[in-house]
Chains A and B, each alone.
Chain A
Amino acid sequence: MRYFDARVIENRSLGAGYFVLRLGGCEPLAVSRPGQFVMLRGDWGRDPLLPRPLSLLSVAHDGRADLLAKVVGKGTALMERSPPGARVSVLGPLGNSFPVPSADVTDLLVAGGVGLPPLFMQAEAAARLGLANSSEMLYGGRTSRDLVLLGEMRGLGIALRLATEDGSLGRRGRVTDELEARLERWRAAASTQILRVMACGPREMLWAVGRIAQGYSVECYLSLEEQMACGIGVCLGCAVAAQTSPYLYVCKDGPVFAAAEVMARATAASTSRSEGGAQ
């Protein structure tokens, strides 16, 4: 983990509030693994005050790092307007990562809306290892406008299954329906294929993914999002109720958790939360 200044070298709008921020000068992030995140802050004065946690989308050895975000508040709105050359401070890479792709296992990468980045990076890692055939991306959003970077994902050579709630692209329904259908086919075929589920998206989607995976006895990892001020286990703001410990921290124990670890108590307590974003 390092704390350094980087510069925006490209800011690409993907429509519907989605954008990819390409940063230069991020050599310390070259070692990042899929699932890890950074705390990012621009030169925007006292409001908003805190840096924003953002999952990495892609990193390169030449110091480039891509972040995908959607405008949801002041911080992301300012990022969306950052011109090339703008200075940002970066703390990272932070947190843990998804399990490494393996030839023996087929990974079902389940992304909801702006939860795509860590799964995109996981797919990229699989492709780099020559394991594109061992990964399938299940990607859902409210409408076709919420499904971004499709060309890039096809370019990785991984299977892509899409779902939109309004039916404008892919299956009409939720990405969790797509996951359930995929697991049902797997069970019906009595396949010897070993499956593993990795997901990132709105909290309610994640709990649904966890429950479905559990129903098919498939190993499942969830990448959680939570309010945090520091990203390094100091503010203790990103507590999540857990199984093996009363609380774990999204920033240092996560953001990737085994589903069983965070589901039982959290789902009981999660009725107070309402998450934005698509499923």
Chain B
Amino acid sequence: MTSSHDLMEGRAPALLTTCGGIDLGNPVLTASGTFGYGQEFDALLSLRGLGGLVTKGISPQPRLGNPPPRICETAAGMLNSIGLENVGVEAFAREKLPFLRSCGTRVLVNFFGTTFDEYLDCGARLAALDGVDGLEMNVSCPNIKAGGIEFGRDPLVLGDLVRACRAVIRKPLWVKLTPNTSDIVALARACADNGADAVSIINTITGMAIDARTRRPKIATVFGGLSGPAIKPVALRMVYQVHRAKIPIPVCGIGGIQDGTDAVEFLLAGASCVQVGTQSFVDPASAERIIREIEEYCRAHGVTDVRELIGGLAIGQ
């Protein structure tokens, strides 16, 4: 008798997936803030081969960012406090989008504002641009005082913001959630109840680092966002919590993914796709490798369609 495993060998597993209204060639995207505007990586990997890419967060006007030092390395991770520096909507449309339109992969534009109206204005203008496949709303950056964290931490405020943005954005709308909360499920539910198409879980975890020699904080703003493999267990837990709560929109899993096995773990926890972030700094071609490693995992485990893995975590006996 031939086992299903034998039948699978040699046949390429289907990697196509879909998340929040966007069809993806495979479940691997690159995360906002770690992949520039795409073009920076054009010589380093095949952009066409990615499931998609998420741009640097865009605000209505250009932003200069925070004073240096802005980053430091920590155990199996890094802290950053860049301050949402970006070129603004107009320059994005003029200077960055033409390349993205022709890069051959799905383009999600991460965006934010510092006021309610700025979110609406920025989201609506970006959604109107040809070449933008979807938007990812950043409500979770811990670095700006005037917006960011306040919008993303209170489910009621978040729900209002999502509903208002939904009304002016006629493209897939994902919301990137903060892990700096005691109830990730409530935040995800607020997004689902108010018309978001997906949630990206998680953004960076607020942290700090101290230089004992100088007795100073290692980054100028004292607090920064922790990313990298150090945060993966927290991210997996939150993805799983949202999945288990049967929130009716898909999850894009983010947090410390370094290889195909890490990505598979997120799919098993319930993510429909994943984003590779800090690893693009460690190994700039990693997203491409991770896609290959997911495919290898599928072959080795008799998985014919990568979507079989989503939420496939086995609990209990």
The chain A residues found within 8 Å of chain B, CB to CB, are 1-3, 41, 46-51, 89, 91, 226-230, 232-241, 246-247, 269, 272-274
Q: Is the CB of B229 within 8 A of A247?
A: no
Q: Is the CB of B64 within 8 A of A237?
A: no
Contact of B183 with A by CB under 8 A: no
Q: Please indicate the chain B residues that have their CB under 8 angstroms from the CB of A273 in the complex.
A: 69
Q: Is the CB of A227 within 8 A of B71?
A: yes
A1 to B41, CA, bound (A): 11
Total residue contacts A-B, CB cutoff 8 A: 99
A236 to B285, CA, bound (A): 19
Contact of B216 with A by CB under 8 A: yes
A272 to B283, CA, bound (A): 31
Question: Which of A47, A50, A226 interacts with B281 by CB under 8 Å?
Answer: A50
Q: How far is the CB of A278 from chain B (nearest CB, A)?
A: 16
Q: Please indicate the chain A residues that have their CB under 8 angstroms from the CB of B43 in the complex.
A: 1-2
Q: Is the CB of B68 within 8 A of A240?
A: yes
Contact of B75 with A by CB under 8 A: yes
A238 to B213, CA, bound (A): 22
Contact of B13 with A by CB under 8 A: no
Interface of B, helix, strand, loop or mixed by DSSP: loop
Q: Please indicate the chain A residues that have their CB under 8 angstroms from the CB of B283 in the complex.
A: 41, 89
Tell me the nearest residue of chain B to A41, going by C-beta.
B282
Q: Is the CB of B228 within 8 A of A49?
A: yes
Q: Please indicate the chain A residues that have their CB under 8 angstroms from the CB of B163 in the complex.
A: none
Contact with A along B15-44 (1 / 0, CB 8 A): 000000000000000000111100011011
Interchain residue pairs with CB less than 8 A apart (19): A1-B43, A47-B76, A48-B73, A49-B228, A49-B229, A49-B278, A229-B71, A229-B78, A232-B284, A233-B36, A234-B34, A235-B71, A236-B85, A237-B69, A238-B68, A239-B85, A247-B64, A272-B216, A274-B214
Q: Please indicate the chain B residues that have their CB under 8 angstroms from the CB of A46 in the complex.
A: 76, 229, 258
The chain B residues found within 8 Å of chain A, CB to CB, are 33-36, 40-41, 43-44, 64-65, 67-73, 75-78, 80, 82, 85, 211, 213-214, 216, 220, 228-229, 258, 278, 280-285
Q: Is the CB of B284 within 8 A of A239?
A: no
A48 to B75, CA, bound (A): 7
Q: Please indicate the chain B residues that have their CB under 8 angstroms from the CB of A240 in the complex.
A: 68
Question: Which of A3, A232, A234 interacts with B285 by CB under 8 Å?
Answer: A3
Q: Is the CB of A234 within 8 A of B281?
A: yes
Q: Is the CB of A234 within 8 A of B35?
A: yes
Q: Which of B43, B75, B281 has the most CB of A within 10 A?
A: B281
Q: Is the CB of A235 within 8 A of B80?
A: yes
Q: Please indicate the chain A residues that have their CB under 8 angstroms from the CB of B80 in the complex.
A: 229, 235, 237
Q: Please indicate the chain A residues that have their CB under 8 angstroms from the CB of B278 in the complex.
A: 49, 229
Q: Is the CB of A227 within 8 A of B220?
A: no
Enumerate the 4 nearest inter-chain pairs by beta-carbon distance, A residue then B residue, closest first: A237-B71, A229-B281, A234-B36, A46-B76
